[in-house]
């Protein structure tokens, strides 16, 4: 009953031309309509932390900047050191209700210590741990380890229904789709077998909708709703402007939304394999590094003058004064990926 009421309110708010529901956006919208009282406010500490256990991927998805930046000499295959990881977890486990996403640029399952890393975070009391994977190396053994590590939510990014489209989108042999399908279905079955009553453990299967795959969307949803807890369709975005071609579907392209402050600045941080904290997770080229968690705490960086300045520029709508934000076309979508 309460859930339905909440959904109804969210739909109403979306109808009020807010790209998606978010308490800070709602405050900002109220601020515009009603007055100063409702300005967005920064949480004392981030609510979501993205960590990069490894910088490496075996796919070259057309919607992803990985293949663009991995050709550059400064972006080589690199792993996060376990001691650095522990330092970060020890700090964020003190944050109130934080969500940990142990992946960032690349395929996190290539770090052989990933399950141990998740286990460590769980033992430290982090309640929400969400992982995204391309599913290609999600063997039965890895599925078991991940489930036993305490992982809450796994999202497998599949993005295509046919092998032909899979090949076009993921930049790999279309036959790999068979393996990804098999791995994902096995994870779902194992999760339901080992944890039949645990509603915190979820599997999402996702689809980044673009001009290339939109014709397969319905078939994809129909198939995957039988083998997942939820099918998620994500709109294609250009990662700021790193992806040159706009492959958004025509219907989505037409929508023009007013630019609001990015709630990422108030809620999330991304920390790469060597400890650099970036204010935007779309910043794959390290243009917005705010500090290193090797030398400072996350709290120190989060509450720094520079962070406050960026937030102020956003609430004042002076986006053009931040180089990264000035060229971004993905605004009003944060939280959508």
Ligand X SMILES: C[S@@+](CC[C@H](N)C(=O)[O-])C[C@H]1O[C@@H](n2cnc3c(N)ncnc32)[C@H](O)[C@@H]1O
Residues that bind ligand SF4 (CB under 6 A): 57, 59-61, 64, 66, 106-107, 134, 157
How big is the site for ligand X, counted in residues (CB under 6 A)? 18
Handedness of CA 244, 248, 253, 258 (dihedral sign): negative
Instruction: Find the shortest distance in angstroms from Cβ 16 to ligand X.
Output: 24
CB 247 within 8 A of CB 212: yes
Q: According to CB under 6 A, which one of 133, 136, 183, 228 is a site residue for ligand X? A: 133
Q: Is residue 285 a contact residue for ligand X (CB under 6 A)? A: no
Q: According to CB under 6 A, which one of 99, 136, 149, 206 is a site residue for ligand X? A: 206
Handedness of CA 170, 53, 182, 231 (dihedral sign): negative
Among ligand X, ligand SF4, none, what does residue 206 contact (CB within 5–8 Å per kind)?
ligand X
Q: Is residue 157 a contact residue for ligand X (CB under 6 A)? A: yes
Among ligand SF4, ligand X, none, what does residue 60 contact (CB within 5–8 Å per kind)?
ligand SF4
Instruction: Find the shortest distance in angstroms from Cβ 304 to ligand SF4.
Output: 29
Q: According to CB under 6 A, which one of 208, 264, 269, 322 is a site residue for ligand X? A: 208
Q: According to CB under 6 A, which one of 22, 24, 48, 63 is a site residue for ligand X? A: 63
Q: Is residue 234 a contact residue for ligand X (CB under 6 A)? A: yes
Q: Is residue 332 a contact residue for ligand X (CB under 6 A)? A: no
Among ligand SF4, ligand X, none, what does residue 53 contact (CB within 5–8 Å per kind)?
none
CB 66 within 8 A of CB 59: yes
Residues lying near ligand X in the complex (CB under 6 A): 57, 63-64, 103, 107, 132-134, 155, 157, 206, 208, 234, 236-237, 239, 243, 337
């Amino acid at each position: 009953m309460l859930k339905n009421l909440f959904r109804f309110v969210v739909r109403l708010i979306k109808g009020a031309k807010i790209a998606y529901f978010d308490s800070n956006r709602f405050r900002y919208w109220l601020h515009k309509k009603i007055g100063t009282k409702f300005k967005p406010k920064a949480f004392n500490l981030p609510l979501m932390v993205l960590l990069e256990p490894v910088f490496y991927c075996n796919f070259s998805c057309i919607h992803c900047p990985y293949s663009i930046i991995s050709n550059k000499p400064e972006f080589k295959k690199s792993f996060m050191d376990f001691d650095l990881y522990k330092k970060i977890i020890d700090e964020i486990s003190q944050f109130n209700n934080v969500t940990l996403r142990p992946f960032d640029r690349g395929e996190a399952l290539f770090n052989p210590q990933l399950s141990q890393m998740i286990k460590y975070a769980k033992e430290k009391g982090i309640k929400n741990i969400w992982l995204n994977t391309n599913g290609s190396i999600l063997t039965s053994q890895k599925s078991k380890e991940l489930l036993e590590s305490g992982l809450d939510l796994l999202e497998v990014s599949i993005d295509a229904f046919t092998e032909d489209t899979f090949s076009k989108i993921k930049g790999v042999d279309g036959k790999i789709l068979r393996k990804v399908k098999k791995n994902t279905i096995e994870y779902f079955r194992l999760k339901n077998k080992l944890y039949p009553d645990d509603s915190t453990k979820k599997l999402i299967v996702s689809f980044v909708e673009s001009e290339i795959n939109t014709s397969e969307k319905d078939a994809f949803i129909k198939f995957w709703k039988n083998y997942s807890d939820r099918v998620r369709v994500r709109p294609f975005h250009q990662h700021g402007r790193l992806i040159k071609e706009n492959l958004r579907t025509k219907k989505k392209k037409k929508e023009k939304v007013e630019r609001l402050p990015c709630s990422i600045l108030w809620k999330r941080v991304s920390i790469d394999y060597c400890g650099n904290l970036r204010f935007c997770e779309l910043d794959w080229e390290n243009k917005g590094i705010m500090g290193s968690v090797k030398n400072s705490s996350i709290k120190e960086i989060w509450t720094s003058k520079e962070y406050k300045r960026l937030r102020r520029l956003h609430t004042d709508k002076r986006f053009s004064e931040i180089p990264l934000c000035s060229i971004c076309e993905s605004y009003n979508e944060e939280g959508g990926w």
